[in-house]
Amino acid sequence: MNTNGPKPEPGTEPPASLPDPMGVIGDIRRFLLGAESLPTPHGTALKLMEFARDPDTPITEILRVIQSDPALTGFVLRAASAARFHGANEGLDLRRSVLRLGLDTIRSRAVALSLVNQRGRTPCAGFDYPGFWLTSLHTGILMESLGLYCEGLDCHDNFSLGLLGSIGRLAFATAAPAEYARLLERAPPPHDDIAALERGTFGFDHHELSSVLLADWGIPTVFAEVVYWQSDPEGGNFTPGSRQHLLASALQLATCLSRLTLGTPPPEGEHDAAVLRAAILGLPEPTMRAIVTESLPQLSDWARLVGLPVPTFHPLPDSD
């Protein structure tokens, strides 16, 4: 006998294992189901999502689909030769690059590229598309670098986690453009700390919405949980030093560093928050600054690759 009350409406059930301490996932699912438009992966990304569900997909078919997308091919080749593979520079071909990265990583990057290419389609006034994607790309780059410097953070998909960690903001702008535009008018620039306004307007914030979207797209649940708790890693009740706690801490740090580097003016208290989170990760401040410096030419390269304006950078504030 069911003693747990009424069943949720069809389509509003939480994704398996996704946390829901505030009981908002049902509301999020209803919001998504009622939306006329959403940021949705298509083309190459959709095909790779299908492949990820079929372990018998031949590598030749995966290669054929990837090769049909020049931008994704560039992502794959570049990522497979990245520093996390010890700077391997043996001239990897696409097949070896795919085998090195794995389909989960490539699928996540394909989803991101698909969404970047839709950046001009929303009518949401006040939503800064180039700024959103530059910050998302930069957060991904910083996450990838943090995996090299912080013990326990060597995750094969750090880049995609950083890139897609705030996708809920794009979903709000796409699904409820007029309502989100009014919210942005009430938020002080640079519109970074708007979670409270989102909760007051929609009943949930972009972190919670991001986690549900990622789970819906087949992104591993461990990443969806990290995204859910990125603004409060300790609130997730992760075991201190566990993979999820470290990833959530790193995602919070990468987001802070990107805002400081790209924001005008830098958000109040962001530098102190970054230094504190770096200390929790065991990352000395000089190393943190070096990571940011190394990230800047990479972000310029990625911006050119995906057709975004080359960003203007701001130096990190000096410590007191």
String of DSSP letters for 144-174: HHHHHHSTT---TTHHHHHHHTTHHHHHHHH
H-helix segments, the chain: 25-34, 44-52, 59-67, 70-80, 94-101, 103-116, 129-149, 158-164, 167-175, 177-186, 195-202, 206-216, 221-228, 243-262, 270-280, 285-306
Question: Cα–Cα–Cα angle for 25, 153, 252, nearest 5°?
Answer: 50
Rg (CA), the chain: 19
DSSP state of 299: H
- 102 in Cβ contact with 51 (< 8 Å): no
Residue 52: per-residue pLDDT: 76
Angle at 21 between CA 20 and CA 25, to 5 degrees: 30
Give pLDDT, residue 17: 53
Under 8 Å between Cβ of 80 and 96: yes
Most confident of 6-15, 88-97, 215-224, 244-253: 244-253
10 pLDDT tier (thresholds 50, 70, 90): very low
**pLDDT of residue 313 exceeding 80:** yes
User: What was the pLDDT predicted at 122?
Assistant: 60
pLDDT at residue 83 in the model? 46
Residue 25 predicted with pLDDT over 90: no
Q: What are phi and psi of 107, to 5 degrees?
A: -60, -45
Distance CA 98, CA 179 (A): 41
Confidence check: pLDDT of 185 > 80? yes
Measure Cα distances from 144 to 207, 268, 284 in Å.
20, 26, 17
Using alpha carbons, list the distances in angstroms from residue 186 to 182, 198, 311. 7, 11, 26
Stretch 192-202: mean pLDDT: 87
pLDDT at 56: 86
What are the tokens at 215?
Answer: 């789970």
pLDDT greater than 50 at residue 16: no
Rounded CA separation 141/158 (Å):
8
According to the model, what pLDDT value does residue 257 have?
A: 94
Q: Is the pLDDT of residue 276 over 80?
A: yes
Residues sharing a CB contact under 8 Å with residue 307, sequence separation 6 or more, in sequence order: none
Number of neighbouring beta carbons within 10 Å of residue 9? 11
Q: Which amino acid is at 129?
A: Y
Q: Which two tokens stand for residue 253?
A: 């740090």
Domains of the chain: 25-39+123-306 (1.10.3210.10), 40-117 (no CATH)
pLDDT in tens, 58-75: 999 999 999 988 878 887
Q: Looking at the predicted structure, is the pLDDT value of residue 198 above 50?
A: yes
* pLDDT at res. 190: 60
Angle, in degrees to the nearest 10, between helices 206-216 and 167-175: 90
Question: Coil, helix or strand for 194?
Answer: coil
Give the count of beta carbons closer than 10 Å to the beta carbon of residue 303: 18
| Confidence at 143, pLDDT banded by 50, 70, 90 | very high
Res 22: pLDDT: 63
What pLDDT, on the 0 to 100 scale, is given for residue 266? Answer: 64
Q: Which of 5-9, 117-121, 155-159 has the lowest mean pLDDT?
A: 5-9
Question: Looking at the predicted structure, is the pLDDT value of residue 4 above 50?
Answer: no
Mean pLDDT of 292-318: 87
Residue 77: band (very low, low, confident or very high) from pLDDT cuts 50, 70, 90: confident
